[in-house]
Amino acid sequence: MLNFRRYYTTASLIAFAVVAVLAGAGIYLLMSTNLLGIAGTEAAPGPGAVTIALFLTLAILYLVLLIIVRHAEKTILRPQAELHHGEAEALRQRCAYLQQIIDENPHFIFAKDRQGRFTMANEAFAEAYGTTVEALLGRTDADFNPNEELVGRYNRDELAVIETGQELFIPEDRIINIKGQELWRNTFKRRIVAEDGEGYQVLGVASDITALKEAEEVLTRAREQAWEANRLKSQFLANVSHDMRTPLGAILGYAEILQEDIYGPLNDKQRTAITEIIDSAGQLLEFMNNLMNLARIESGEIALTSTQFEPAELLNDVSTSTRPMAHNKELELTTNITDGAPAKVVGDRYWLQQVLLNLVGNAITHHLGRRAIGDIGRKFQLLVMGHRAR
């Protein structure tokens, strides 16, 4: 289309020149042969005839030029102007469409040049500065943000991104906005390059993570409060257990003295009652000991100590401690070390003994015959397997 217009313009100019020459020559010829009847003789035309010929030539040239211009305007200039107008309108619509897209985005989107002037921004970013997109363009952060230190950091970071091309990501950035509010954002900044590949602007996208940070702080406070409540609970259990063990020890001590007939012989009913007192107090004391151990475990005061010990010796100590309880229940407690059990193991002997005491004590308290006692050996076997001393 452009080549056709160029050829058309060139041909029109050539045609215009040819017509002008032919018109001038024809008029001069007519004047010289007296065909127009101006001079009345066949003599050479005078100055007047030449002037008339020149005037007529210019008039013809003007008419021809006017015709060419009108035709060119209709066939070339007007369509070209309409094309430019259509391209400009399409460009305007495309820019408006892109602006609408970034305005609908809730994140902060902006672009700046090397001087820190805004070349593009969306409504969310403009509203954060308390202005409009139109008023923001061409201006800098310093025109809206009184925090000079923050503005200076923005300018240094963005200029470094433009010059190096290295992306900048700030996962958490605490800022004070123009209203004095504390906000948290994470920000991406990338370089915008020109057609020659050189960076000339920076694109920034920032997200408001204030709500997320506030939720994290709430969770942190809740976790700290839960830890404190758990600590107070453990401390309470430890205090209660410790305070109750003293009177329980006195009750057990005096009951055992009565059971030994130190204060005189007891009849059958009294001995039965004393036995029940001893059993109940023993169970309560065991419960208090478990509470204390639980409180110590939850408070982190227990540190396991690995030592080498003999399972047979440990099992014998457990049997010695629990055999009177089994005897009172008219149960027989026996121990058995299988041939495959290790002679020595490594572990925390004290806590393993506490586990076995609890197992045996529960088996005696809630016995279902000899089978319950026999299960203890299998459970103990599971505890020591795979922990041979080396």
pLDDT at 203 over 60: yes
Going by C-alpha positions, the residue among 354, 246, 234, 253 that lies closest to residue 295 is 234
> What are the backbone angles phi and psi of residue 45, rounded to the nearest 5°?
-65, 145
Q: Identify the CATH number of the domain in which residue 150 sits.
A: 3.30.450.20
Q: Is a pLDDT exceeding 80 seen at residue 56?
A: no
What integer is the mean pLDDT of 17-39? 55
| Locus of tokens 């985005």 | 105
Tell me the CATH number at 376: 3.30.565.10
Tens of pLDDT, residue by residue over 254-307, are 888 888 888 888 888 888 888 888 888 877 887 777 777 777 776 666 777 888
Digit-coded pLDDT (tens) for 161-186: 999 989 999 888 887 777 777 888 89
Among 64, 97, 130, identify where a domain stops: 97
Q: Rounded mean pLDDT of 149-156?
A: 89
What is the share, in percent, of the chain residues with pLDDT greater than 90? 14
For residues 110 and 194, membership in a common domain is answered with yes
Residue 39: pLDDT band with limits 50, 70, 90: very low
Q: What is the CATH number of the domain that holds 267?
A: 1.10.287
CA 109 – CA 203 distance, rounded (Å): 8
If asked whether residues 192 and 267 sit together in one domain, one would say no
Q: Name the residue with tokens 């049997």.
A: 319
Residue 4 has pLDDT above 70, yes or no: no
| pLDDT tens digits, 301-335 | 677 788 898 888 888 888 887 887 777 777 777 77
**Residue range of the domain that includes 61:** 2-97
Q: What is the mean pLDDT of residues 347-364?
A: 83
Residue pLDDT, tens place only, 58-89: 666 666 666 766 666 666 666 666 666 667 77
Q: What is the pLDDT of residues 239-259, one digit of tens each?
A: 777 777 778 888 888 888 888
What rounded mean pLDDT belongs to the chain?
Answer: 76
**Last residue within a domain, chosen from 300, 332, 367:** 300
Domain final residue pick, 208, 236, 259: 208
- Assess whether 332 and 249 both reside in one domain: no
pTM to 2 decimal places? 0.45
What is the number of domains present in the chain? 4
